[in-house]
Chain A
Amino acid sequence: MTMADLRTNLAGITSPNPFWLASAPPTNSGYQVQRAFEAGWGGAVWKTLGDPILNVSSRYAAVHFNGQRVAGFNNIELITDRPLELNLKEIYETKKRFPNHAVVASLMVEPNQNAWHEIVKKAEAAGVDGLELNFGCPHGMAERGMGSASGQVPDLVEKQTNWAKEAAETPVIVKLTPNITDITSTAEAAVRGGADAVSMINTINSLAGVDIDTWLPIPRVGGKGAHGGYCGPAVKPIALNMVSECARNSRINVPISGMGGVSNWQNAIEFMLMGASNVQICTAAMHHGFRIVEDLIDGLSTYLDDRGILSVQDIIGKSVPTFSDWGNLDLNYKVVARINNDVCINCNKCHIACEDTSHQCIDMLNDPSGNPILQVREEDCVGCNLCSIVCPVDGAIDMIELNHEHPAMTWNERQTLIGSLKDKKVSK
């Protein structure tokens, strides 16, 4: 049996597999990055280089949900607090030991042409395979005009990308902040500035929680807290949407490195299908250690082999054409819920969810022998999926596709048709 080729190429940066560690605490030092490569990670974006900063303690907080730990993760840590020279030396050593792995330097300096030129040259001298401009960190650095503060202004993104490109010989990736209304506007700006690739998302502005006993924010530094950046599984849908929006935008014609809540191989496949050339991961590694990469690789590899797909690159962007605007959805397409009473355990969650919060179309009845059953009144079912979402048993509720009663018609088509009819009337 042949194993699928997992090698990826992001704007010329190659790596043995699509799994990179994102620029974050796990890539803080040569020791860590080398451990990661030993474990099997394909690449690493070094913890952001810049003028060393001062950090605070504590720094992280997580959102646990119904007993599941780390549904979301929040941090107020800044960029590297280690001397630039030390990081560069370790980058050099790491790259020497792992020549085939991708080592990318994340960079953040003040919006100044010389500063960008200088740091780009230093990083490249250490032997990096590429650069990632950090226009995303939402906390701390943003208050000093860096990170997301510049990443939220398309002109600044374009200008700074341009400055970096002026000095760069390796590919330049621009990492975007999600703390903006429309990420495609800054992605486009990065492309205009000459970016070879974009990566997204950085963390989302967040306050992880408030301690209801002490009334202090979480996390707290002494008696105070400040907003941080949110990531982890909870942000995946936001990240996936942003990747997809950029992928289907023809003006953003550069590769995308996807990240934000990627926790397993399935998530990675989703991002790649929606246009990411590779994925970056942090929270999952912080939760479980570098060893998670083994199943990321194994799961992806098996997935591809099972489908006879020879290279992971063959799935990149394959779902992008299916992702469109609401106005292009078929108004005459119809699904309804159907409950399989032989599988159903009668928890009645579908009934109460539908009855209280949806379309009141699931009845609690008894079958001829008096056993409780649940039944969907299909004529009233709008096919919202809610019942199948709350159902705790696999296979108890199917969403069944009904035959089209009317030919397919989207909202946009409908409006065009109405418009043309009006025109006809007017012309009469």
Chain B
Amino acid sequence: MSSLESSVQKELQKNFTEVIPSLTNQEAFQESQRCLYCYDAPCIKACPTGIDIPTFIKKIASGNMKGSAKTIMTANPVGASCSRVCPTEELCEGACVLNHSKKPILIGNLQRYATDWAIKNDQVLFKQGQPNGKKVAIVGGGPAGLSAARELALLGYDVTIYEAESQAGGLDTYGIVSFRLPKSVSLWEVEQVENLGVKIKTGVKVGEDIQFDEIFSTNDRVILAIGMASVPDLNIPGEQSNGVYDAIELVKMTKAAPFPTELKDKKVVVIGAGNTAIDGATCSVRLGAENVKILYRRSEQEMTAYDFEYEFAKQDGVEFRWLTQPVEILKNEDGKVKGIKCIRMRLLKADQGERRRTEPVPDSEFIIECDAVVKAIGQKRHLPFIEELDLAHKDGVILINNETMETSNPKVYACGDVIFGKGQGEAMVVSAAQQGKTAAYHMHESLKETYSA
């Protein structure tokens, strides 16, 4: 690498370091003292994984850092990641009783402080359970899969995770921007699970590198935690041009050195207005893009990104173009993106419970000049995979018993993004973690009778 390149890389590294600084010891101590230590605390109920928040905070206050980290990680095997990516104002912090008197406790930051301590101090928090002779295969090593694996390992199961990527952690490792969640945090969580004897086979695509039959014949149960697939096509002309990105792929490129430099000084247009679109946009800014615009066919009110993400993007200088629908990606003679043709939209009256629909405004086409287009309009489903397993599903969303996470095949459980959608499940990492736990417990219940303890 030339010295110029390395200085560029250094600059980019800076852009991708965590934006929210960790609490200092003093800040954490003081904030922990502020917690009222409520009885039957609403923050616990607001946490999908039910972390005993007052207890972990009290432990920070008492100086019992290991106990604090353990309290968190017991309830949530990806608690270090969640401390950074959870929409805390909609969960624990939103439920904090201090909202009614002063400011809520910074629960997310305290959780990060405690788990960071465990990371820095190389703590081993859990011990593998007494082997019970039962084998479980988990397909997908993201938050849901890791969470299920951790619980099963504690219960004594022989667990193997099959992970298509070269490292486990799923979206926490690859799909969440480094300046929110450094990869190292997610990989620590992976390591915690591996330390319990869980075998993680990375770079293995189930159905290609190993056949389903083999997995079913060698395991007592299977958990599917395969998440979702790539961003779907926009289905507009010019989509194959050079300079069109999948937002998730773009984020992934920034999670490992060297950082891509191709967006430097470029004009970038991001399509979509969910949290992934925000990630795509802020990543582009941090990769040196000259201008970044988010195009959304609905308006500000309908956007699905969290408020804090929206605010963050605006702080980063991202521009928003509401009621704007792309109709064609324009390319130059080299096949490179040179602009995007859009049409103005208008909102229609809302059907009950639905997001407001839109319709194009006739003759309102216009062109936005740009060098790159980032697609962030949701994610496709692993449909062929699900169909091959012959599991009941709705448009690629595996149908499950909501209580047990059991699929239409009683030997197969599912959790995480693969069950999210069509009014089922939640898209949050913390929900995936809880679903993994639930799947593990119910699977354990179902298997209990088959072996003597």
> Which of A's residues lie within 8 Å of B, judged by CB?
66-67, 345-349, 351-352, 364, 392-393
Contact = CB atoms under 8 A, between A and B. Distances in A.
A90 B100 CA distance: 57
Given A66-B61, A393-B101, A347 B39 contact: yes
A414 to B, nearest CB: 38
B227 to A, nearest CB: 37
A349 B100 contact: no
Contact of B36 (A66, A67, A349, A364): A349
A346 B38 CA distance: 8
B188 interface: no
B117 interface: no
B389 interface: no
A345 B30 contact: no
Contact of A349 (B30, B33, B37, B98): B37
B97 interface: yes
Nearest to B31: A67
A347 B33 contact: no
Given A346-B42, A347-B39, A66 B100 contact: no
A143 B36 CA distance: 45
Nearest to A356: B39
B40 interface: yes
Nearest to A344: B100
Contacts of B38: 346-349
A352 B54 CA distance: 14
Contacts of A393: 101
B170 to A, nearest CB: 37
A198 B30 CA distance: 41
B30 A67 contact: yes
A347 B29 contact: no
Query: Top 6 A-B pairs ranked by shortest CB distance?
Result: A352-B39, A348-B39, A67-B33, A345-B100, A347-B38, A345-B97
B39 A345 contact: no
Nearest to A68: B33
Contacts of A347: 36, 38-39, 41, 97
A348 B29 contact: no
Contacts of A345: 97-98, 100-101
B61 A346 contact: no
23 contacts: A66-B33, A66-B61, A67-B61, A345-B97, A345-B98, A345-B100, A345-B101, A346-B38, A346-B42, A346-B97, A347-B36, A347-B39, A347-B97, A348-B38, A348-B39, A348-B40, A349-B36, A349-B37, A351-B39, A352-B39, A352-B40, A392-B101, A393-B101
A67 B39 contact: no
A260 to B, nearest CB: 26
Interface string B152-165: 00000000000000
B197 to A, nearest CB: 34
Interface string B12-41: 000000000000000001100100111111
A269 to B, nearest CB: 28
Interface in B39-57: 39-42
B217 to A, nearest CB: 51
Contacts of B42: 346
Contacts of B101: 345, 392-393
Contacts of B41: 347-348
B216 to A, nearest CB: 47
Nearest to A346: B97
A392 B101 CA distance: 9
A351 B100 CA distance: 18
Contacts, number: 35
Q: Which of A345, A346, A349 has the most CB of B within 10 A?
A: A345
A364 B41 CA distance: 12
A349 B100 CA distance: 15
Nearest to B62: A66
Contacts of A352: 39-40
B248 to A, nearest CB: 41
A392 B30 contact: no
A392 B38 CA distance: 10
A195 B184 CA distance: 73
A67 B30 CA distance: 6
Contacts of A346: 38, 42, 97, 100
B54 to A, nearest CB: 10
Contacts of A364: 40
Nearest to B29: A67
Nearest to A390: B36
Interface string B67-101: 00000000000000000000000000000011011
Contacts of B36: 347, 349, 392
Nearest to B33: A67
A349 B101 CA distance: 15
Contacts of A66: 33, 61
B16 to A, nearest CB: 35
A393 B101 CA distance: 7
Contacts of A351: 39-40
Nearest to B61: A66
Contacts of B33: 66-67
Contacts of B97: 345-347
Contacts of B100: 345-346
A364 B39 CA distance: 11
Given A67-B30, A346-B42, A347-B39, 6 more contacts: A66-B33, A345-B97, A345-B98, A345-B100, A346-B97, A349-B39
A392 B42 CA distance: 16
A364 B40 CA distance: 10
A67 B62 CA distance: 10
A394 to B, nearest CB: 9
A349 B42 CA distance: 13
A352 B37 CA distance: 11
A26 B37 CA distance: 39
Nearest to B26: A67
B380 to A, nearest CB: 41
Nearest to A212: B63
A20 to B, nearest CB: 34
Interface-central residue, B30, B33, B100, by most chain A CB under 10 Å: B100
Nearest to B98: A345
A63 B42 CA distance: 33
A392 B40 CA distance: 16
A349 B98 CA distance: 13
Nearest to A355: B39
A288 to B, nearest CB: 19
B57 to A, nearest CB: 13
A67 B34 CA distance: 9
For B38, B39, B41, B101, the residue with the greatest tally of chain A CB atoms inside 10 Å of its CB is B39
A345 B39 CA distance: 12
Contacts of A349: 36-39
A351 to B, nearest CB: 6
A393 B97 CA distance: 11
Contacts of B61: 66-67
A351 B98 CA distance: 17
A392 B29 CA distance: 19
A110 B249 CA distance: 86
A403 B39 CA distance: 33
Contacts of B29: 67
Nearest to B63: A212
A302 B201 CA distance: 75
Contacts of B37: 349
A389 to B, nearest CB: 14
A364 B42 CA distance: 13
A344 to B, nearest CB: 8
Nearest to A347: B38
A67 B26 CA distance: 9
A392 B100 CA distance: 12
A347 B44 CA distance: 12
A316 to B, nearest CB: 38
Contacts of A348: 38-41
A184 B97 CA distance: 48
